[in-house]
Amino acid sequence: MNRATQGFKRPAVRLACSYLFDWILCIVLIALFLMLDNLTPFKRQFSVEDSSLMYPYKEKEIIPTWALIVIAVVFPAVVMAVVSLFIRRSSYDFHNGFLGLLLSVSLTIVVTQVVKVTVGKHRPDFIDRCKPMLNGVAITRDEPLKLWSVDVCTTADHSVFKDGMRSFPSGHASTSFAGLMYLSLWLAGKMHVFDRKGYSLKSVILMVPILTAMLVTISRIEDYRHSAADVGWGTIIGVFFAFFAYHQYYPAITRSHSHIPYPPRDFGYLVKDNDGKVHETGRLEAMTGIHPNKESVDETQQQPEQLADLEGQQN
């Protein structure tokens, strides 16, 4: 056995390698988001008589982007660090918690940005950003049976103009719920909120992150950056990925062991095949959970795993 093989056999090295793909995935998603952010959105035609686009452009936002990062990422990470490292004293818990947070936010911002760029929906303050003019005269009326293209826009600030075509869905809404809903789920698991002991303080604590995300979302309507539909769909996207990411690393919050992250993954753990025989997984199966069969199998009949689950439910 060479030195490289011996090094891989060390628990710390195997643990790091087992989560390496997750970290790389999050980094790739963030890089992809930055690339998408430089793309010009779909240039949708518009009406200068559309009252939903006539709101004034506000240069100062209530929650700027840097504040959103602090609220949706830094704040949850700090809370998890305090609980995991100083109360539970588990660095593995913090690792899984922060990795799940990063996965939730990175998936959310990529999906949100893809939809923003492809839909190209105008913000409520688009006309003020666009400053439509024709032959040096401001356009205040539509021509019969005709919409205007963005070619009539005369704004000098291209970045402000381009951002005016990214209304749907709301990135602030999706990102804030991706981070803060994840934090609520994480705290719910730690506090065993469904243990039927009825401590109302738990509900109050869980509502703080959710209420914060709601206030961030409402601020986007107050800034005339989004409509109610924009923030509504942004909220749905953020909540969906928060639930998805949380359950990649932690059991359901209704479980008695919800405060404990899933056991460390390994490239060489034992599973049962379709015949109920124990075997060691390959690297692809360990990473994806997809079991490869050497030949065609008949899965029309109940499998050993399904029978075991049924017996467990009956007991």
Instruction: Classify residue 265: in a domain, yes or no.
Output: no
Instruction: Classify residue 184: in a domain, yes or no.
Output: yes
Asked whether residue 191 falls in the same domain as residue 274, the answer is no
Q: Which of 226, 247, 259, 291 is labelled catalytic?
A: 226
d(CA 216, CA 231): 10
Instruction: Classify residue 40: in a domain, yes or no.
Output: yes
pLDDT score, position 88: 84
pLDDT score, position 294: 62
pLDDT score, position 135: 86
C-alpha pair distances (Å), 74 with each of 91, 117, 179, 308: 17, 27, 9, 43
Asked whether residue 208 falls in the same domain as residue 278, the answer is no
Residue numbers of the domain that contains 289: 270-314
Asked whether residue 112 falls in the same domain as residue 199, the answer is yes
Asked whether residue 92 falls in the same domain as residue 151, the answer is yes
pLDDT score, position 56: 95
pLDDT score, position 308: 56
Asked whether residue 97 falls in the same domain as residue 38, the answer is yes
Does 172 qualify as catalytic in the annotation? yes
d(CA 283, CA 198): 44
Q: Which residue has the tokens 């949380």?
A: 246
Asked whether residue 184 falls in the same domain as residue 301, the answer is no
Closest to 265 (Cα-Cα) out of 5, 3, 21, 6? 21
Asked whether residue 280 falls in the same domain as residue 163, the answer is no
Asked whether residue 209 falls in the same domain as residue 66, the answer is yes
Closest to 234 (Cα-Cα) out of 252, 254, 213, 253? 213
pLDDT score, position 269: 47
Please list the rounded mean pLDDT of every run of 10 residues in the chain (315 residues): 51 72 94 94 93 93 95 96 89 92 97 96 94 90 91 91 94 97 94 78 90 97 95 97 96 87 65 51 51 58 54 55
Q: Give counts: helices (H), strands (E), the chain.
A: 13, 4
Does 95 qualify as catalytic in the annotation? no
Query: What is the length of the chain?
Result: 315
Q: Which of 172, 192, 247, 279 is labelled catalytic?
A: 172
Asked whether residue 233 falls in the same domain as residue 304, the answer is no
Instruction: Classify residue 179: in a domain, yes or no.
Output: yes
Asked whether residue 195 falls in the same domain as residue 88, the answer is yes
Number of domains in the chain: 2
